[in-house]
Amino acid sequence: MDNARKVAVDVLNEVFYNKAYSSIVLGNMLNNSTLDQKDKGLVTEIVYGTIKYKYTIDKILKEFLKNNFDKTDRFLLNILRITIYQIRYLDKIPEFAAVNEAVNLVKKHVSLGASKVANGVLRNYLRNKEGAYYKEGNIFEELAFKYSFPQWMIKLFYEQYGIHLCEKILFGLNQRPDITVRVNSTKGDYENIFNRLEENGYQIEEGYVCPEAIRIVRGKSIEENPLFKEGVITVQDESAMLVAPAMEIEENMTVLDLCSAPGGKTTHAGELLNNTGEVLAFDIYEHKLNLIGENIRRLGLTNISLSLLDATNYEENLEEKGHRVLIDVPCSGLGIIRKKPEIKYNKNMKELQEIVKIQRKIMTNAARYVKEQGVLLYSTCTLNKGENEDNIKWFLKQHPEFKVEPLFFGKVDNIIYHEEGYVTVLPNTYMDGFFIAKIRRTK
């Protein structure tokens, strides 16, 4: 029988040292393990929690390991990380049990000497749980330790949003994400599908802001549900659900989706067309198009075609092709840290600046694909204004034939309606951080 904490350490080793995606490596390791469902849940909690709070945990460990932190055996260091996480952030696991389990695992997988180090560090921490591990009086160090974010990211949010919204963003990005599903309007009505989910034993609620959304509060894996397999529902965050309806899609239109993976917005557009018209969906990676194709077939959509395309390269045969053109551009992903906490540690300011060049190439090409009076929809899952507001302002200077049209998704406290017309969605329990701009070609 596999040990839950050993599996968690193996996952973290791949994420922290081999830059693996947490969701992928965790899924693979759990599927290949002999753990029962309860232990799989524990592994998932420990992995995501430890990644989420790595900055804070490492600040604590550096206090006890001193100059040896960077030289510490990786297995030992990850055992210390997951144990500090359990002690500091979980209530259900007794402290002595967490420490004993850690010491025994280090003794088994590293050495007796390393287990003595683990025992010393962890018991020292237990005596100093309320200690100050940052420079008091420094707002950036305080926020970084409290919310467990690198200081450069704290400063970015602080400078762009001010202290109040900065803290709101940090708090929101640390929330446990809900699973939300979108009702496929081509296969049934909302009320009927809602009732069928309840009959299948799910505890559910209506969406936070999207009329197509159903929140899964409690229940078994949604992908094993007959309604999912029948294509009646599909998993999608509510922020992403806002995008396709914002285009004001009408039947028989041609919709271009230039950066379509993972395909949620593509299929949503197909549903809004009610299987009329056409959605021309493109992506740079063939394996991602294959996954989108599987979803299209599951959802029973017949109006979507898939093609390889690098959206940074101009494609002449798409000139003025689309009534609606969607560019959900590659971005830094700072709005989806709830789901991918490793983004905290694998991004930097240089990458944020470099991605803007790619985004602007895509915007320039996409402008040429929009019919007169058509709509260009720009969206990202980041909160960096350099990739959002600044790009829209740049685009409008380059293309005076376009203008932003205001969007409104309802009065909720996490959506910012800018006077220019575009929208920023702040992360909370229900939604990822997002940015959406609807831009009309007027001539």
> Strand ranges (DSSP E) for 272-401?
278-283, 304-308, 322-328, 370-380
pLDDT at residue number 66: 85
Identity of residue 338: R
Q: Which fold has domain 4-127?
A: N-utilizing Substance Protein B Homolog; Chain A (1.10.940)
Domain range annotation of the chain: 4-127, 139-173, 238-441
Q: Which of 413, 359, 414, 430 lies closest to 389 in space, CA to CA?
A: 359
User: What are the Cα distances from residue 250, in Å, to 39, 72, 223?
Assistant: 48, 60, 30
Q: Could you tell me the end-to-end alpha-carbon distance of the chain, in angstroms, rounded to an integer? A: 67
For the segment 95-112, the average pLDDT, to the nearest whole number, is 93
What confidence tier does 233 reach under pLDDT thresholds 50, 70, 90?
very high
Same topology, domains 4-127 and 238-441? Answer is no
Given the residues 166, 210, 331, 381, select the one marked as catalytic. Answer: 381
- Write down the mean pLDDT value for the chain: 95
- Say yes or no to pLDDT of 101 above 60: yes
Nearest-angstrom CA–CA distance, 240 and 254: 20
Q: Flag whether 374 is marked binding.
A: no
Q: Provide the pLDDT for residue 92.
A: 83
pLDDT in tens, 309-346: 999 999 999 999 999 999 999 999 999 999 999 999 99
Confidence of residue 88 (pLDDT cuts 50, 70, 90): very high
Range 238-441 classified under CATH 3.40.50.150: yes
> pLDDT at position 327, please?
98
Q: Tens of pLDDT along 9-59?
A: 999 999 999 988 888 999 899 989 899 888 898 999 999 999 999 999 999
Q: pLDDT, tens digit, for every residue of 353-365? A: 999 999 999 999 9
2 pLDDT higher than 80: no
Q: Is 413 annotated in some ligand binding site?
A: no
Each residue's pLDDT tens digit, 114-142: 999 999 999 999 999 888 898 888 999 99
In this prediction, residue 339 carries a pLDDT of: 93
Q: Per the annotation, does 102 bind a ligand? A: no
Rounded-to-integer distance, Cα 351 and Cα 43, Å = 31
Q: Please say if the pLDDT value at position 235 is more than 60.
A: yes
Rounded CA separation 153/149 (Å): 7
262 is in an annotated binding site: yes
pLDDT of residue 404: 98
Q: Can 166 be counted among the known catalytic residues?
A: no
The pLDDT value recorded for residue 1 is 54
